[in-house]
Structure 1
């Protein structure tokens, strides 16, 4: 991380610095016992070139159509590059939902979670009954805004249900480390559920790393279109700062688990819960993936709000970090516009 980027991040947050290469499990993708062992050892699995690139690009085209429509990015011949034309927005802002509320309805987004190659990978890694949650998320990462880079965190507190829940993170384009890819703290799933602190970025929570983390390695790679990264709910992972001067990082993620395990209500709802499934499905062309989870066996688990409770009131930090972000955002826009 550059000194400039480190100066911009909220106090107390430690992002990955020295990065080691990820172990590639592509040659083991059909070896279920080996995948389970590696996942238990490392807390992640990386697969190269396993998803249909045309399908991913078709979804990227749908997403960039929306982003161009709401004037976040340039349209026309530049559209697929996701070149930013204006201000950056963070999750939760009103203007963020201008795009989100259209993207959350895309049939192609939900269909990707059921891609046969992805399903096969997840079942080899987790077990034969693995299925995706209907919760499907598009990540829209603006360039040059380290204040809102997703901090090191664990997924469990935001999803709950079962600690065996496993995310699949999928870039919708080639994504070098400096363009905002993901990093994983290797072996961190064995640390258990870690304490949290406030953060301005997605999820608004980051972990407080234990002393044992100093002996662990942050691993990452230059991701390519067609790659998939898997990690369970207790693995500490973080976005890297998108240092590209102009282009957004676009990715999607889905969460899988075995039948018979716990599922919380939030994992059975559309992202942010702003719409009903009937509203989401209104313009779909197929019924294939509507309400599919109702035929699965799982244990309903009550949502526990205390898992997201912070020890200290974050209001002052929210104000301070928010002001820092708004000031930096306006300054970067002025520089971009010359």
Structure 2
């Protein structure tokens, strides 16, 4: 018998698991991110840390935007973020509610940040309408997991979904100069988008074919920070037939990022004789 969660997921293209995670588990991850920003501020000799995550992010953004961008690009590699996105309750829902018995991980985690004051000049500010399958290419019933680290309402840059858009499969893309695979949504209207209002502890499960985007509707002085990752069902027939492909490519940077680093003296400080 199909579960209510899987039934809604298949019918609507998404499912929201309310209170799937404990608040303190999510807040611990948010505090870990806050620590990384405060560590950078301390490294730069800033006289004080931000009293909350948004304030610390804003301080680093204004002090050294290049260092800010490097840090937000590194967040996905934090162990606390990895552990949260692979939480037993998330994996357990896939196994118990969706019936998955064997799981592949197609790629890493993503930290998505939205705030009026933290816009990157000529850079990212939310995702345009898109589907995730072209950037995953795994199992046809693969899942996008998205969860907020702060409460997200209609006026705090919510995730916006077009329910039942997954029935169309992969839709044509719009050609542009961006690296983002933007879906042609000409058959839809603005009224078709559903703002996803969620609180800390809620987790959104989407199909890889569900059209979604980042809302541009936000209030100054507010931070929306969320995490996402993807899962593939290893028992899906075409995934087995294609021998478990993924669009993600694993590479290694062989050239040293910082010439002459580390020196023998720097290593000796870590490993004194």
- Which band: TM-score by shorter chain? 0.7 to 0.9
Alpha-carbon shift at residue 195 of structure 1 (Å): 1.2
Rounded to whole Å, the distance in 2 between the matches of 1:264 and 1:63 is 32
CA gap of 1:161–1:132, structure 2 versus 1, over 3 A, is closer
Distance 1:189 1:168 in 2: 16
- 1:229 corresponds in structure 2 to 204
Larger radius of gyration: 2
Q: How many corresponding residue pairs?
A: 237
* C-alpha distance 177-216 of structure 1, shift in aligned 2 (>3 A): closer
Q: Which residue of 2 aligns with 1:207?
A: 183
Aligned in 2, Cα 1:224/1:190: closer, same or farther, shift over 3 Å? Answer: same
Q: Counterparts of 2:189 and 2:50 in 1: how far apart (Å)?
A: 47
Aligned residue in 2 for 1:143: 116
Distance 1:219 1:55 in 2: 27
Residue of 104, 111, 115 corresponding to 2:76: 104
**Structure 2 Cα separation of the partners of residues 216 and 192 of structure 1:** 21
User: For 1:54, what is the secondary structure of its paired residue?
Assistant: helix
| Distance change >3 Å, CA 128–CA 260, structure 1 → 2 | closer
Are the aligned partners of 1:38 and 1:45 in contact in 2 as well (CA < 8 Å)? yes
Q: What secondary structure sits across from 1:254 in the alignment? A: strand
- Greater length-normalized contact order (CA 8 Å, ≥ 6 residues apart): 2
Q: For 1:128-180, what per-residue CA distance to the aligned partner results, in whole angstroms no more than 9, with x for missing partners?
A: 32536252121122326597321111001111122321111000111112111
Q: CA 1:192/1:200 → structure 2, altered by over 3 Å: closer, same or farther? A: same
Q: Name the CA distance, whole Å, in 2 between partners of 1:175 and 1:81.
A: 18
2:16 maps to 1:46: yes
Q: After TM superposition, list the pairs within 5 Å mapping 1:98-247 onto structure 2.
A: 98-129=70-101, 131=103, 133=105, 134-143=107-116, 145=119, 148-198=125-175, 204-211=180-187, 213-214=188-189, 217-241=192-216, 243-247=218-222
Q: CA deviation at 1:194?
A: 0.8
CA RMSD of aligned residues (A): 3.4
Distance of 1:175 and 1:132 partners within structure 2: 29
* Counterparts of 1:54 and 1:191, CA distance in 2: 39
Helix, strand or coil at the partner of 1:117: helix
Is contact 2:34-2:52 (8 Å) kept?
Answer: no
Question: Which residue of structure 1 aligns with residue 234 of structure 2?
Answer: 259
Identify the residue that residue 77 of structure 1 maps to in structure 2.
Answer: 51
- How far apart in 1 are the matches of 2:12 and 2:161? 9
* Counterpart Cα distance in 2 of 1:227 and 1:161: 25
Q: Match of 1:103, SS?
A: helix
**TM-score in terms of structure 2 length:** 0.73
Unmatched runs of 5 consecutive residues or more in structure 1:
1-30, 277-338
**Residues 124 and 246 from structure 1, CA distance in 2 versus in 1: closer, same or farther, beyond 3 angstroms?**
same
- CA separation of 1:54 and 1:147: change in aligned 2, threshold 3 A: closer
Q: Secondary structure of the residue that 2:221 maps to in structure 1? A: coil
Return the offset for 1:185: 0.2
